[in-house]
């Protein structure tokens, strides 16, 4: 019996299926399994010489996943020699050399590529450094880049701290459609973070430390099972987007009001989002849960498509258990193959994402502990980030807090998202019956690229009747939430009962200017409209 195992993946030399080999290599690389055998196969010239251009590109990507840059460049060089007519390989080779700051090699590759494919001139963008005199290269640049990335790795480790002596590695068996995590019983290190953000491995942390304290806590926002893995109706797809934006905005607003800083929101790469809360020093898990659970509780009542859970779920460790685990951000989700990223950042740019951590503050644990000991409910003032908006538009502030369907429309408009016809109808037939309807509608709608001041005025002038009721609004917006309860309304329930002081006394908007206050309000609206169309200074 032959004891010598092949150093590369088994290949049928008579009838090789190169497509299958290529897919198998990628799967193993993503799982982080049989790395040496994968590398041996990737270096096998007898196989590489017989591959199609697209297959060679896949081998190049697999080498990048494993982390062998030189091998990736070698495969691209071979691709250019074997298939010079294939433009994609020239572009990949040039882009990689530029990212590695090998500008002289990149310049040579660009010249050779353009001699064969002049049309690539617009895609092979010349960096500023290549235009400059490269006779005296900046030898300190690689060192500075290395030092900066070390600092960013340390920043990442500072914020995402869990159990001190163990972390976890994600595994997945796609054949059986199962996945999980296995403990790695040692402290997590900077090299592990580098593997994680490069996609070579995927790691998670156990939030509870050995003394049942936490340095970070998480609100997990997952799409409910009923809305996953199926073809959704257009109304449901729109509802998911609106609810997502609403929860993101309200979570930030509530956190600013309660803690003075907002959480870091991350797309998990799986079925939802994570809101990360950081403490300056470890605090008891029970305290962290006590502080953060009310935020999730408030927003859960407003959610149809998403569920919210607070992690850790335990106040103390029990026996030999390790407690709840959360996947670290900016890694590759081994099940979906999607990368994680922070909201507001680009995916597949982990270093830029980590820099965003500098914008986030840690919660002051001393103040939180003192507030917990006092056991007093504090009426926290509106944070400055929202105070100006709440002061200028108190009607919108009240409605966004107390009416989730309208709050979702306001969130969509703040992000310059277009409204559907039914959403626009709800907006006009609610806000249109406020005393400052003209001012409020122009403020919200002027964020849209297709904003037309005359059209808004026309639609407002045609408004008749009474405000839309809650039941009709829920029906139009496909909302399935509990209705608000009003005491002694004397009329049918509608959202404007939350802000009765701001309703038009005549029950419908009036264009007639009856006093100086109305004249000033119209002037403010006009000035806001003019500013929208004025060129920005310096542009």
Greater model confidence, 321 or 201: 201
Query: Contact 60/75 with Cβ under 8 angstroms?
Result: yes
- My answer on whether omega of the bond before 257 falls inside 30° of 0, hence cis, is no
Across all residues in the chain, what is the average pLDDT?
Answer: 79
Length of the chain equals 539
Instruction: Identify whether residues 125 and 35 lie together within a single domain.
Output: yes
Dump pLDDT digits (tens) for 145-159. 777 888 899 999 999
How much of the chain, in percent, has pLDDT values that exceed 70? 81
- Integer CA distances (angstroms), 521 to 4, 415, 447, 515, in order: 86, 25, 19, 10
Instruction: Identify whether residues 510 and 459 lie together within a single domain.
Output: yes
Query: Contact 46/10 with Cβ under 8 angstroms?
Result: no
Greater model confidence, 337 or 273: 273
DSSP 358: G
Q: How many CB atoms lie within 10 A of CB 235?
A: 12
- Report the distance separating Cα 101 and Cα 505, nearest Å: 68
Q: Shortest CA distance to 285 belongs to which of 174, 394, 206, 399?
A: 206
Q: Is residue 264 assigned to a domain?
A: yes
Question: What pTM value is reported for the model?
Answer: 0.59
Q: How confident is the model at residue 266 (pLDDT cuts 50, 70, 90)?
A: very high
Q: Is residue 2 assigned to a domain?
A: no
Q: What angle do CA 122, 125, 127 make, to 5 degrees?
A: 155
Residues contacting 383, CB < 8 A, separation 6+: 253, 256, 257, 260
Instruction: Report how many helices (DSSP H) and strands (DSSP E) the chain contains, helices first.
Output: 22, 9
For every residue of 470-515, DSSP letters joined together read: HHHHHHHTT---PPPP-SS-SS---GGGGGGGGB-TTSS------S
Query: Contact 265/256 with Cβ under 8 angstroms?
Result: no
Residue 275 forms beta bridges with which residues?
219, 265
**pLDDT, mean of residues 304-321:** 86
Q: Is residue 337 assigned to a domain?
A: yes
**pLDDT, mean of residues 219-242:** 84
Would you put residue 174 in left (φ > 0), alpha (ψ -120 to 50) or beta? Answer: alpha
- Report the distance separating Cα 305 and Cα 7, nearest Å: 49
Dump pLDDT digits (tens) for 363-422. 888 777 765 555 444 444 455 555 666 777 888 877 877 787 888 778 777 777 777 888
Question: Is residue 218 scored above 90 in pLDDT?
Answer: yes
H or E segment to which residue 219 belongs = strand 213-223
Instruction: Identify whether residues 187 and 315 lie together within a single domain.
Output: yes
- Report the distance separating Cα 360 and Cα 345, nearest Å: 14
Instruction: Identify whether residues 354 and 318 lie together within a single domain.
Output: yes
CATH of the domain at 321: 3.90.920
Dump pLDDT digits (tens) for 495-539. 888 777 777 655 444 444 445 555 555 566 556 655 555 554 444
Q: Is residue 298 assigned to a domain?
A: yes
Q: How confident is the model at residue 243 (pLDDT cuts 50, 70, 90)?
A: confident
In 84-197, DSSP assigns E strands to: 167-173, 178-184
Instruction: Identify whether residues 106 and 52 lie together within a single domain.
Output: yes
Instruction: Identify whether residues 191 and 310 lie together within a single domain.
Output: yes
Q: In terms of DSSP H, where are the helices of 303-403?
A: 350-355, 365-374, 384-392, 394-402
Domain that holds residue 311: 148-363
pLDDT of residue 459: 83
Dump pLDDT digits (tens) for 168-195. 999 887 777 778 889 999 999 888 998 8
- Of 70-74, 203-207, 472-476, highest mean pLDDT: 203-207
- Report the distance separating Cα 341 and Cα 349, nearest Å: 8
- Report the distance separating Cα 293 and Cα 297, nearest Å: 6
Instruction: Identify whether residues 420 and 509 lie together within a single domain.
Output: yes
- Of 3-12, 245-254, 409-418, 448-457, highest mean pLDDT: 245-254
Sign of CA dihedral 510, 511, 512, 518: positive
pLDDT of residue 88: 85
Instruction: Identify whether residues 160 and 61 lie together within a single domain.
Output: no
How much of the chain, in percent, has pLDDT values that exceed 90? 15
- Report the distance separating Cα 440 and Cα 436, nearest Å: 6
pLDDT of residue 368: 75
Q: Is residue 141 assigned to a domain?
A: no
Instruction: Identify whether residues 167 and 65 lie together within a single domain.
Output: no
CATH of the domain at 31: 1.25.40.10
Our count of domains for the chain comes to 3
Ramachandran angles phi, psi of 202, nearest 5°:
-130, 125
H or E segment to which residue 406 belongs = helix 404-414
pLDDT of residue 330: 92
pLDDT of residue 214: 93
């Amino acid at each position: 019996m032959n004891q010598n195992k092949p150093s590369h993946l088994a290949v049928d030399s008579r009838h090789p299926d190169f497509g299958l080999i290529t897919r198998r290599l990628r799967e193993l690389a993503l799982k982080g399994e049989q790395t040496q055998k994968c590398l041996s196969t990737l270096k096998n010239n007898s196989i590489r010489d017989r591959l199609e251009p697209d297959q060679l590109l896949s081998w190049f990507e697999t080498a990048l996943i494993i982390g062998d840059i030189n091998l990736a460049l070698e495969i691209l060089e071979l691709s250019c020699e074997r298939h010079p007519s294939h433009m994609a390989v020239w572009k990949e080779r040039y882009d990689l050399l530029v990212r590695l700051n090998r500008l002289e090699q990149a310049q040579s590759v660009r010249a050779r590529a353009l001699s064969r494919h002049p049309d690539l001139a617009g895609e092979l963008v010349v960096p500023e450094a290549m235009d400059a005199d490269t006779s005296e290269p900046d030898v300190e640049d690689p060192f500075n880049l290395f030092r900066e990335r070390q600092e960013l790795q340390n920043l990442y480790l500072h914020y995402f701290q869990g159990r001190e002596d163990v972390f976890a590695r994600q595994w997945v068996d796609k054949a059986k459609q199962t996945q999980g995590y296995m403990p790695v019983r040692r402290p997590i290190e900077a090299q592990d973070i580098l593997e994680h953000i490069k996609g070579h491995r995927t790691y998670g942390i156990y939030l509870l430390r050995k003394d049942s304290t936490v340095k970070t806590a998480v609100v997990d926002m997952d799409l409910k099972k009923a809305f996953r893995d199926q073809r959704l109706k257009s109304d449901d797809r729109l509802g998911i987007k609106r609810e997502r934006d609403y929860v993101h905005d309200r979570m930030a607003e509530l956190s600013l009001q309660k803690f003075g800083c907002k959480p870091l929101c991350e797309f998990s790469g799986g079925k939802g989002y994570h809101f990360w809360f950081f403490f300056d020093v470890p605090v008891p898990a029970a305290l962290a849960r006590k502080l953060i659970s009310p935020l999730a509780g408030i927003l859960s009542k407003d959610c149809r498509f998403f569920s919210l859970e607070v992690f850790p779920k335990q106040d103390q460790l029990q026996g030999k258990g390790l407690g709840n685990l959360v996947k670290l951000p900016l890694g590759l989700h081994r099940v979906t193959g999607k990368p994680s990223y922070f909201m507001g950042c680009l995916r597949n740019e982990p270093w830029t994402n980590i820099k965003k951590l500098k914008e986030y503050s840690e919660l002051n644990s001393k103040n939180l502990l003192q507030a917990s000991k006092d056991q007093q409910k504090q009426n926290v003032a509106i944070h400055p980030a929202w105070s100006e908006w709440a002061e200028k538009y108190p009607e919108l502030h009240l409605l966004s807090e107390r009416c989730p369907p309208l709050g979702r429309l306001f969130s969509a408009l703040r992000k310059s998202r277009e409204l559907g016809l039914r959403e626009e109808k709800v907006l006009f037939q609610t806000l249109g019956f406020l005393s400052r309807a003209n001012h409020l509608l122009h403020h919200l709608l002027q964020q849209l690229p297709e904003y037309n001041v005359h059209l808004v005025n026309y639609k407002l002038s045609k408004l008749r009747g009474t405000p839309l009721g809650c039941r009709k609004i829920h029906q139009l917006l496909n909302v399935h939430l509990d209705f608000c309860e009003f005491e002694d309304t004397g009329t049918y329930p509608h959202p404007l009962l939350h802000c009765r002081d701001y309703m038009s006394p005549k029950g419908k908007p009036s264009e007639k200017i009856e006093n100086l206050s109305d004249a000033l309000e119209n002037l403010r609206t006009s000035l806001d409209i003019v500013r929208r169309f004025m060129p920005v200074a310096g542009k």
